[in-house]
Structures are given as C-alpha cells and as structure tokens.
C-alpha cells in the first residue's frame, strides 16, 4: 500500500445492517476503480474526550455510532485516477442517493503512509486514531511511530499504519483539521492498529501501557488532541 483514503462517519445505530450492506455492495465498484482493500469498522469502544473525540469530529447525535473506514491504493496516482472516475460514474451517484447516514458530516481525505508494519494474522479488531503533528516534526514523528509499531507487534498487533495528511480538504460542516483542532502548520495523521480480536487488543494494550519504551523522552505532538477509539470490522475486502 502506498496511499490511503480515510473516512470517518456518524451512522444511526438502527441503520447498522443497512450501512453494512451498502458498503459491501460498493466493494466491487471501488476495486474496479483501483482500490486494493476496503475496510469499514463499526464503533465499539469510542470514548468521550475532554478536548477532542470521534463523536465531536463528525458532530454525532446521541443515537449515532462512529464508523472508521479506509480504502487502500497501490499508489497516489491510482487513488487520483479512481477519484476522477468516481466523479463521472453513475453508479457512484446512485450510491450517494441511498446512503443510510448524513454524508455532509462525513470527514475524508488522502494520506501517505509513513509507517506500515505488518505481522502474521488476520484483523478481527482495529484501533483508529487521528493526530495533529507539526509539519516540521514529520521525520521525528515517523521514527517514534516506527519504534512504537515494533512494540505493538511484539504484544499482539498484526499491523500498524500511520499515514501523513496529503490531500485533506477543509469542509463546510466537518473536516479532519477541525476533528483534532489543528493549528498553524499542523498536519493530520490518520492511523490504525489491527489486532486478531478484541480480546487480543485489550490484553495487548495492558502490556503496551506498562512498557517504558512506549514513552519517548520528548513530545512531537499534542497528545491531548489525539482522537482515538476501538472498532469492530463489518466489511474487510
């Protein structure tokens, strides 16, 4: 994978199956247009935050659940070509007319992976995150994230991805910068951690939090504005 299109949406809890079917029906179209993988993950352990959180990011209502999803592409060029085709494909317009959620509050953007570390095992659970990082700290953040990815894999994670904001548009209602209250030259990092199960994730995090290697000597970003949560995959194809 060389490029990611990342999305966050608020979906009425009652529409879970309708959303899953809508997404599953779209897999073949997105792959036809150039995507190599599509994941849709349903909010399971999405906490309220003191400064930022996923619910605030998409202005979620009380009866709505957060969905964290992404498309993987082999290159940015492939992603750009797919986006061009989507603009004129009538099937995309049909999909847009039947979305079982408020698409105006969905946030989206394009990201270039700076860390992509994999281990053996399938994904049964995923932790998703959004982080504001000063543009000048890109290399330092990437080095830190790579070291932490190795520790996460040691304790059970099967994949760790950190993707740097590349094409992250401002939105009229919601957007990624607003989600993390980004300021000045800060970039948004879209990341996720794949685990074989929720149980493995819970056990893994206990070990991760207790490991002093996870805590760098210097801070490269404002962790108080990190947005994070746990999600159960409903589509992975």
CATH of the domain at 120: 3.30.70.100
Q: Assess contact for 43 and 229: CB atoms under 8 A.
A: yes
Say how many Å lie between the first and final Cα of the chain, rounded. 14
Q: Assess contact for 105 and 179: CB atoms under 8 A.
A: no
Structure tokens at 129: 């995150």
Helices (H), the chain: 16-33, 54-57, 76-88, 90-97, 138-154, 176-179, 198-209
Q: Assess contact for 79 and 101: CB atoms under 8 A.
A: no
Q: Which residues pair with 15 in a beta bridge?
A: none
Residue 130 pLDDT = 98
pLDDT tens-place values along the chain, 237 residues long: 899 999 999 999 999 999 999 999 999 999 999 999 999 999 999 999 999 999 999 999 999 999 999 999 999 999 999 999 988 889 888 888 889 999 999 999 999 999 999 998 899 999 999 999 999 999 999 999 999 999 999 999 999 999 999 999 999 999 999 999 999 999 999 999 999 999 999 999 999 999 999 998 778 999 999 999 999 999 999
Q: Which residues pair with 41 in a beta bridge?
A: 68, 233
Greatest CA separation found in the chain? 53
Count the neighbouring beta carbons within 10 Å of the beta carbon of residue 123: 18
Residue 36 pLDDT = 98
Range of the structural domain that residue 145 is part of: 3-236
**Number of domains within the chain:** 1
C-alpha to C-alpha distance for 123 and 233, rounded to whole angstroms: 8
C-alpha to C-alpha distance for 65 and 235, rounded to whole angstroms: 16
C-alpha to C-alpha distance for 223 and 137, rounded to whole angstroms: 14
Cα dihedral 58→206→216→179 (10° resolution) = 0
Structure tokens at 36: 């190599």
Residue 219 pLDDT = 83
């Amino acid at each position: 994978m060389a490029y990611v299109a990342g999305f966050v949406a608020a979906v009425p809890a009652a529409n879970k199956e309708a959303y899953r079917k809508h997404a599953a029906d779209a897999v073949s179209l997105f792959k036809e247009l150039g995507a190599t993988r599509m994941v849709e993950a349903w909010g399971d352990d999405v906490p309220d935050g003191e400064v930022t959180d996923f619910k605030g990011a998409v202005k979620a209502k009380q009866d709505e659940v957060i969905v964290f999803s992404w498309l993987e592409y082999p290159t940015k060029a492939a992603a750009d070509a797919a986006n061009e085709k989507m603009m004129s494909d009538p099937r995309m317009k049909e999909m847009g007319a039947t979305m079982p959620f408020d698409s105006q509050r969905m946030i989206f953007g394009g990201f270039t992976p700076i860390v992509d570390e994999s281990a053996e095992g399938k994904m049964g659970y995923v932790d998703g995150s959004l982080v504001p990082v000063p543009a000048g700290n890109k290399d330092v953040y990437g080095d830190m994230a790579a070291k932490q990815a190795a520790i996460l894999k040691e304790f059970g994670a099967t994949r760790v991805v950190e993707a740097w904001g590349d094409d992250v548009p401002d939105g009229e209602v919601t957007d990624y910068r607003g989600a993390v209250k980004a300021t000045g030259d800060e970039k948004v990092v879209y990341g996720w951690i794949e685990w074989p199960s929720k149980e493995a994730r819970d056990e893994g995090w206990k070990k991760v939090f207790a490991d002093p290697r996870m805590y760098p000597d210097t801070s490269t970003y404002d962790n108080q504005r990190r947005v994070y949560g746990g999600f159960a995959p409903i589509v992975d194809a």
